[in-house]
Structure 1
Amino acid sequence: MIVGVLALLAVLAIPLTGGSFQQLGQIRIRAWWLLPLALVLQILVISVLPDLPTALAASVHVATYALAGIFLWLNRAVKGVLLVTLGAMANGVTIAVNGGTLPASRWAVETAGLDHREGFVNSGVLENPRLPWLGDVFAIPEGLPFANVFSIGDVLIVAGVVVLIVANSRTPEPAAQNQ
């Protein structure tokens, strides 16, 4: 949720940074449909069908990162995508090596006031996590808007989305002329 809110704020900042919505609309996005497909599949296994067998839910969750990875690879020339890719890779690899769940620190979960849920969770406190420092180790505290846990990968994704929106909303500088 916080990624979407910060992306919306970046869009709203376009006029303040000298950008143009029209210029942003000129970005050539390849295979755009992969990203909404990955998002819909994530929503299905995390929120809509929480009682799926854990192995199936975890496999679909990891597959959504593969779909997003293909999308990012195809659009790697777009300014900001490299940073988004680094964040997605940090999250995706950590999720993959932890059986489909991004490990969360107990401190972050408690600080955000989140409840532990049975069955498959996309982020949760794991007994012996691999790469725990890449998991959800940061928190927006309970009582604040958008209280939740987040990872360094999420921070990189948000930074990449901001760069993508702001940098691609600006008119390219004319090429220097040889004299």
Structure 2
Amino acid sequence: MLLLAVCVLVVVSPLLIGRWPAGLLLHRWRWPALVWVALALQVVIMQIDALHRIAPVMHILTYVAAGVFLWLNRAMPGALIVGLGALSNGVTIALNGGVLPARAGAVEAAGLGTDDAFANSAVVADPVLPWLGDNFAWPEPLPLANTFSVGDVLIVVGVIVAAWTGTRRIGAASTQAHERKAV
């Protein structure tokens, strides 16, 4: 949830200085349903305990769907950076049985519990590629306390590039149209 919240804040951040993310919002996306299905599936597998047996496979499939979406839209500035972050997380998840390995200290700092429900990130006994796991913490008592990975940081950097590339002054389009009519 932390990663999603940060990405949403990044997308709306140009508005804070009177600009709108025109490049991102006006881009002609290819197969946008893929990314929405991937996000929806991630929410479903985290919320429905009955899916715990197939949750690891579904989790990996969400990364495949997101990867296809990013590849199809690779011309968008920032998409390849987001793709690199997603690939980092996805490969690490696939090699660790469907979960992103988390550093115990980061989990503790974030105040995350360890229950029997499926977690997309968890402390793993012998993780593969542990340096690509959730090694960092957005600690308690901060809102949305959670762990995050190098891949998550790359995703945010890619979203920053996408959101800020092609920004326009708010009202610039209507001013340009008015100037053309006056000539």
Q: Indicate whether the TM-score tops 0.5.
A: yes
User: Which digits, 9 at most, give the CA deviation of each residue in 1:50-94, with x for residues without a partner?
Assistant: 23243x111111011000010000000000101100100000000
Which of residues 138, 141, 145 in structure 1 aligns to 2:139? Answer: 141
Unaligned runs of 5+ in 1: 172-179
Q: 1:61 — aligned with what?
A: 59
Matches within 5 A, 1:147-166: 147-166=145-164
1:19 touches 1:166 (CA, 8 Å); kept in 2? no
Aligned CA distance change for structure 1 residues 72 and 119 (closer, same or farther; 3 Å): same
Q: 2:10 — aligned with what?
A: 10
Q: Higher helix proportion, which one?
A: 2
Deviation at 1:7, TM superposition (A): 2.6
Matches within 5 A, 1:120-131: 120-131=118-129
Deviation at 1:6, TM superposition (A): 2.4
Q: 1:36 — aligned with what?
A: 36
Decide which structure has the larger Cα Rg and report it: 2
Unaligned runs of 5+ in 2: 170-183
| Percent of aligned pairs with the same amino acid | 49
Q: Please give the secondary structure, in 1, of the residue aligned with 2:51.
A: coil
Aligned CA distance change for structure 1 residues 45 and 166 (closer, same or farther; 3 Å): same
Deviation at 1:21, TM superposition (A): 4.3
Q: 1:118 — aligned with what?
A: 116
Report the AA paired with residue 13 of structure 1.
S
**2:21 & 2:101 partners in 1: Cα distance?**
38
2:89 touches 2:132 (CA, 8 Å); kept in 1? yes
2:77 touches 2:165 (CA, 8 Å); kept in 1? yes
After TM superposition, the score normalised by the length of structure 1 is 0.87
What CA RMSD, in Å, does the superposition of the two structures yield over aligned residues? 1.8
User: Which digits, 9 at most, give the CA deviation of each residue in 1:90-120, with x for residues without a partner?
Assistant: 0000000001000001000000000002142
Q: 2:165 — aligned with what?
A: 167
Matches within 5 A, 1:75-86: 75-86=73-84
Moved over 6 A (4+): none
Aligned CA distance change for structure 1 residues 99 and 10 (closer, same or farther; 3 Å): same
Q: 1:51 — aligned with what?
A: 50
